[in-house]
Structure 1
Amino acid sequence: MTQIRQETITKMKELTELHAVPGFEGEVRDYLKEKMTPFVDEIIGDNMGSIYGVKKSKKKNAPKVLIAAHMDEIGFMVTEMTNEGMLKFTPLGGVSSDVWLSQTLQLKTKKNDYYNGVVGSIPKHFRTGNESGVSIDDMLLDVGAENKKQLQDMGINIGDTIVPRTDFEQLTENRILAKAWDNRYGCLVGIELLESLKNKELDVDLYVGANVQEEVGLRGASASVNLIKPDIALVVDCSPANDMKGHVGLSGALGEGVLVRILDRTMILSERMKEYLLNTIEENEIQYQYFQSPGGTDGGEIHKALTGIPTAVIGVCARYIHTSKAVYDIRDYLNAKSLLEHLVLDIDFEKIEYLKYK
């Protein structure tokens, strides 16, 4: 397999360290626009904030292929400033309450100032025995302010956004630790797909980009589908791995390849699409693993839009997603990128028509 480029590692770091919760995806949107512009004919977007680069085919009336990531990551929003200078917050996206105590988080103000803070926990010395199961509603973020007035002087307000404060780190040759690989993976693979196709002529009009607000209910996907009206969609997203005690069923394992997502709570992979994916994988000797997810992706909205859109998820897995840190495998990224490239170069009108049930 092709070795990963240093330029790819650099983009991984840049993307995962951006601050972009649901509804506040501007940093990632600006990054995508900058990186995609050299490789596309135009940049388009919808009124919710999703953004797509368009690479046009020279063929008239070419079918439209959608490559859809999402920009947002899980995080929080400030809901209260206490007299003691603490901040209360509420989740944006699905998070568990048991992983946030004593974690370092980053707050962003509306003036684009950043403050680090720690989620307060009661020292063992002062516990009464009732604090072991603290809910997020009871947590407080300590950014070092002495009182509410100091918070206000710092420019902090209700509605400011919070993400984990996590530095990108390459742990070993193939394993990376970072936040927000769900779903900066999809943003990265979209950028690098366009770069790899810069000198290629396609049989399709290619739309590559990312939606907003996936983590709070797949909200952005509907608007972007209505804008683009694709004939086929390939969703690029990151899913949870459950391999810490061995590979359990179809739950995803690091280093075992791109995910062939046969089922989740929002979409069933069609028989014809599954056949097409597996044929492409086998012809090009791409490492893969079957995957069943308890969650969903933007594919859940996309595949049932308009009169129905043939859709597949070209995914990777990572450990500990929806927490402050995730661990993922570079080789899985490379396998997913390879599959995506081969699919886009192969897709034409006849294949799309075959994937539709008529």
Structure 2
Amino acid sequence: MLSNESINLFEEISSVHGVAGNERLVSEMLRKYYEELSDDIIYDNLGSIYAVKKSKNVNAKRVMVSGHMDEIGFIINKFYDNGLIGALMLGNIPKNSLLGASVEAFNEKRHVFPGTILSIREDETVLDEKNNLIIDLGFMDKNQSETNLQIGDTISFSSEFIRTSSGTIMCRNINGRYAPVIGIELLRALDNIELPFDLYVGCTVQEQVGLRGIQTATNKVSPDLAIILESNKSFDYQLNSEDKIGILGGGLLLTYYAKTVLPNRLLISELKKLCDNNEIKYQYYYSLEDSEAGWVNKLRTGCPSLFINIPVRNFNTPKSVISEEDFGSAREALIKFIEQLDNNKIELFKSENR
């Protein structure tokens, strides 16, 4: 089970509005924590943010620990005469989860307007062929809606954080909040520890709409080694799942294959050995989804990359589910991996395939 401090951090960060392209509030919150736990803070020109923990070594190598902070949601693209809002879906959201879902619109003055998603047709279809949908925010005419909102404002699922007695967490945007939370936990653990390399811990923007921020962030950091923090779909409960992978409570995901990257085998072996030696729970996993690691791995001259991920039920829906135990396993493995890392090991990882 996680400590109350960790749970409070998770709840605080998961409550922040941060739909892709409008991640400023998440960035502001991260900056507040990073200022206390790092030597410097850097940004790319899209808004990705990283805390920098500097080494005393000259020309130190660079290790990047990164994940995305944006969440799925919607962007307003039309106002109807009857006060309803037209919006475009941002990110890959299962359409079965949309009808009747509670949402919150967010304007430039940071006012929040609660509402719900309606069907766009009489047969209760929610999305049209271009992923447009209709949202009811309680406005009764077009003048009311245009007075409070404008084209381009974003809408997210409503925030409700639930911690169950069985050790699971349910909230709206775990896919976009796992990396911010575990990154802060890492920096806290390393607060008084000197490292032989420069450590960059942070989050990217616009992952949900095409893995955009990771490209500019990787060019900004120029890492020698990257650890990617992501969540992956759990296939441990569906009746038609033949291959039960991503089991909640089974530990962190030891990802040996992903659609866009073949993880460095020496890195995987090192993580497995670390988990075995420290009795950290893990489970093998493969992913057929796109990943930020695919960009880090091949930008510039290439960069050895490692996943430290956890499984999620109801992935990218109004309410996702994770296991506290899985998060704890990932956090412990990440901290210990960084603590035992040195420049010689980084060079070995870089030369693994030569």
- Scaled by the length of structure 1, the TM-score of the pair is 0.94
Whether the 8 Å contact between 1:98 and 1:133 is mirrored in structure 2 is no
- Equivalent AA in structure 2 for residue 61 of structure 1: N
1:60 alignment counterpart: 58
2:180 alignment counterpart: 187
Which residues of 2 match residues 146-225 of structure 1 at below 5 A? 146-153=140-147, 155-225=148-218
- Equivalent AA in structure 1 for residue 256 of structure 2: I
Q: Secondary structure at the match of 2:322?
A: strand
Whether the 8 Å contact between 2:98 and 2:126 is mirrored in structure 1 is no
CA distance, structure 1, for counterparts of residue 94 and residue 4 of structure 2: 34
| Unmatched tracts of structure 2, length 5 or more | none
2:12 alignment counterpart: 14
Give identity over the alignment, percent: 33
| Unmatched tracts of structure 1, length 5 or more | none
Offset of residue 133 of structure 1: 3.9
Query: 1:245–1:321: structure 2 CA closer, same or farther, 3 Å change rule?
Result: closer
- Scaled by the length of structure 2, the TM-score of the pair is 0.95
Offset of residue 222 of structure 1: 1.2
Aligned residues: 349
CA RMSD of aligned residues (A): 1.6
1:145 alignment counterpart: 139
Offset of residue 249 of structure 1: 2.5
Q: Deviations over 1:58-90 (max 9, x none)?
A: 222221110001110011101110011111111
Q: Does 1:241 align with 2:234?
A: yes
Offset of residue 134 of structure 1: 3.7
Q: Secondary structure at the match of 1:303?
A: helix
CA distance, structure 2, for counterparts of residue 19 and residue 138 of structure 1: 21
2:45 alignment counterpart: 47
- Equivalent AA in structure 2 for residue 303 of structure 1: N
Q: Secondary structure at the match of 2:347?
A: helix
- Equivalent AA in structure 1 for residue 5 of structure 2: E
Whether the 8 Å contact between 1:250 and 1:292 is mirrored in structure 2 is no
Q: Secondary structure at the match of 2:103?
A: strand
1:295 alignment counterpart: 289
Q: Deviations over 1:295-336 (max 9, x none)?
A: 122111101111110001100111001111001100001000
Whether the 8 Å contact between 2:226 and 2:304 is mirrored in structure 1 is yes
Offset of residue 282 of structure 1: 1.3
1:87 alignment counterpart: 85
Q: Deviations over 1:113-155 (max 9, x none)?
A: 1100111248xxx95xxx14442546311111111011122x2
Runs in 1 of length 4+ with deviation above 4 angstroms? 245-248
- Equivalent AA in structure 2 for residue 64 of structure 1: R
Offset of residue 248 of structure 1: 5.0
Q: Secondary structure at the match of 1:167?
A: coil
Whether the 8 Å contact between 1:186 and 1:236 is mirrored in structure 2 is yes
CA distance, structure 1, for counterparts of residue 99 and residue 223 of structure 2: 43
Offset of residue 250 of structure 1: 5.7
Residue from 123, 129, 135 that aligns with 2:127: 135
Q: Secondary structure at the match of 2:177?
A: helix
Residue from 303, 308, 312 that aligns with 1:309: 303
- Equivalent AA in structure 2 for residue 188 of structure 1: V
Q: Deviations over 1:157-179 (max 9, x none)?
A: 11110100131011224111101
Whether the 8 Å contact between 2:236 and 2:244 is mirrored in structure 1 is no
Whether the 8 Å contact between 1:250 and 1:290 is mirrored in structure 2 is no
Residue from 23, 27, 34 that aligns with 1:29: 27
CA distance, structure 1, for counterparts of residue 80 and residue 311 of structure 2: 39
